[in-house]
Amino acid sequence: MWENIFLIEVSSETARKIGGIYTVLMSKSHRIVEIFKQNYLLVGLYDQYVGKGEFFEEQPPDETLAKIFSELKGLGIKCYYGKWIVGGDARVILIEPSEFGEKTVNGEKQINLIKYELWKDFGIDSLFMGWDFNRNVLWAYAAGILIEKIIDSYPSFKFIVHCHEWISGAALLYLRKKKVRASLIFTTHATSLGRAKVAAGEDLIKEVNEGIKSGKTVDVQIAYRFKLEGQHLLEKACVNHCDVFTTVSDVIDREAEYMFGRKSDVITPNGIDFNRVPNVGEVKHIARSAREEVEKLCYAIFLPYYAIHPKDSLFIYLSGRYEMYDKGIDLYIKCLAKLDELLRKKQIIKDIFAFIFVPTSITRPNEDICTNLLIVDRMYDLFKSYRIDPEILSDFNEVTKFLAEFSDGKKVDISKFSQFFLDLPQDVKMEAVKLYKNLRKSNSNPPINCFLLTYPNDQILNLLTSLGLVNSQFNRVKVIFYPTYLRPGDGLLHMEYWKVISAFDLGIFPSRYEPWGYTPVEAATMLNLAMTTDKAGFGRYILEKFGEKLSIAVIPMVDRSEEEVIEWMTQHVLKILNLSREELELLKEEARKIVESCDWSTQINSYLKAYELGLRKVEGK
């Protein structure tokens, strides 16, 4: 039924990896291209820095589009046509609108005229909105002009225009005002006011439930209090002027009903294209080498100070945007502190290595860690060349003492390290000892932060220190803060995010505000156990489809105190810590099977349902 339908999807995150919508668009693009073929076009924001390596520019495919580009250039709107390499080679037009915004009409800048138009036609008050709001509105308005010209130039197609978030909202409202012959779809992934209220410590779910029960919507003056009136009113206008309104989960569906007075027509949950990710066997293979690299990093951090045993430890992590409260980073750290206390009291043998993958502003990697990582790499190579398990590094301080006594002619029981003493040539043993003694340390405790920050008084580091998580020899929970994006060339691990997380056992994502939540899905895809929450769209999905699970656990947050949430998290991690390696591996495979239900081959149907509904509504007008 899609042969004569042309789908245009509008998002500033097209081929621009800055948030979760990027993942949605990228991961479903292969499936959408299969369905719509050449009749699929993404419109995004041109960003020469973020889009590098993703967008491959080409000449416009026909004279009609080339003519449109030329006309728009005369308005100050620069358009770049090409393919999204990692997005199914989908056709893309990226827009650079800066010159357009600076143009003046009767002495007034274009952006101010656009904002006046939005106020006059749709009641959107954006007088005091700043640069970020203005730039997004300008880009989206320019996208609307582009799309109008495309629709007018190709009369044989029926058009669907799908706009994501308030950021693309000016495009939808422009097209509605111009009464273009297209079905207009609008998706809210998260409401700007809802996110802000949670960040301020408010109980949004309780407010939403009470509001819906009493038939009320949010007071618009609250948006003014948060200085979000422009975003909120733009969202509300889009919700009430689109043909089909969708949200990504029932959590956001109810939130939108309270914020905008309209329930979604279709819920469009997110997914993953499992044809494009490694299968279980491949993940296990990747995980072996990734775990070794992560353990090397741990040795580089801790070995100069004291012995560690990473092979026998539990590796956990949190990842996401630096939103201390919304993402529950504070809950994760407080859970770590409680675990540290319990492990010491109960004298449990296993340690926990807890990573925090939360990007912020950095200058460079910690020099001591860089130097030590090179030394550890060399020691690994030495031991492996003589088939000695590199785990001997865990006890290398003891080894060096034995070697010194042995060299002095003293009687030493070397049975524990017989391979090292008997299988290695003397010069190799001495090189290994020399390397070990060259490991660098600059403080009394191992560093928590792997990189130097550009600012003082970091919230994460301050909270860790205040709770006694300082990586002392007595801390049973060892914390590693990795405040940059994981990628080749990052200075330390040099691996993509998905490869790194394959090395771990458990991903913890205690979000207080999470419309869907890709991180636990990605975790389970890479054979991690995962923890999400009942305030997250994915958490609600798990509870509805699968119930309570150990492999993908849903933290009960609704109507719970912070202390109760932390206690629940702590006890759950302890359960996992006490599992045997065999039990852990079985649960990891179960987690993978569960998230395979989120494959786009299934999830895409909700999008198609929204598109069908939109076409019917337009035909019925």
Q: Can you give the CATH number for the domain in which 255 is found?
A: 3.40.50.2000
Question: Is residue 65 domain-shared with residue 105, that is, in the same domain?
Answer: yes
* Local confidence band at 207 (pLDDT 50, 70, 90 cut-offs): very high
* Local confidence band at 449 (pLDDT 50, 70, 90 cut-offs): very high
Question: Is residue 239 domain-shared with residue 299, that is, in the same domain?
Answer: no
| Domain-located, residue 606 | no
**End of a domain among 240, 268, 296?**
268
- Examine the pLDDT at 414 and tell me if it is beyond 80: no
**End of a domain among 223, 243, 268?**
268
- What proportion of the chain, given as a percentage, has pLDDT over 90? 89
309-317 average pLDDT score? 95
Give all strands (DSSP E) within 493-557, no chain letters: 506-508, 529-533, 552-555
pTM of the model: 0.92
* Local confidence band at 244 (pLDDT 50, 70, 90 cut-offs): very high
Question: Is residue 293 domain-shared with residue 351, that is, in the same domain?
Answer: yes
| Each residue's pLDDT tens digit, 579-602 | 999 999 999 999 999 999 999 999
Domain residues for the domain of 129 are 5-268
Question: Is residue 264 domain-shared with residue 292, that is, in the same domain?
Answer: no
| Each residue's pLDDT tens digit, 361-405 | 999 999 999 999 999 999 999 999 999 999 999 988 888 888 777
Question: Is residue 41 domain-shared with residue 88, that is, in the same domain?
Answer: yes
> According to the model, what pLDDT value does residue 412 have?
72
- What proportion of the chain, given as a percentage, has pLDDT over 70? 100
- CB proximity list for 251: less than 8 A, separation 6 or greater: 205, 514, 515, 535, 536, 537, 540
Question: Is residue 375 domain-shared with residue 462, that is, in the same domain?
Answer: yes
- The CB density around residue 343, as the number of other CB atoms within 10 Å, is 19
Rounded distance, CA 11 to CA 5, Å?
20
Contact 513, 535 (CB under 8 A): yes
Judged by average pLDDT, the poorest of 22-26, 101-105, 316-320, 330-334 is 101-105
| Domain-located, residue 466 | yes
| Domain-located, residue 536 | yes
* Local confidence band at 273 (pLDDT 50, 70, 90 cut-offs): very high
> According to the model, what pLDDT value does residue 400 have?
86
Question: Identity (one letter) of the amino acid at 139?
Answer: W
289-307 average pLDDT score? 97
Rounded distance, CA 210 to CA 204, Å?
10
Mean pLDDT of the chain, nearest integer: 95
Question: Is residue 222 domain-shared with residue 330, that is, in the same domain?
Answer: no
> According to the model, what pLDDT value does residue 621 have?
67
* Local confidence band at 18 (pLDDT 50, 70, 90 cut-offs): confident
Number of domains composing the chain: 2
Measuring CA to CA, which residue among 179, 79, 96 is closest to residue 138? 96
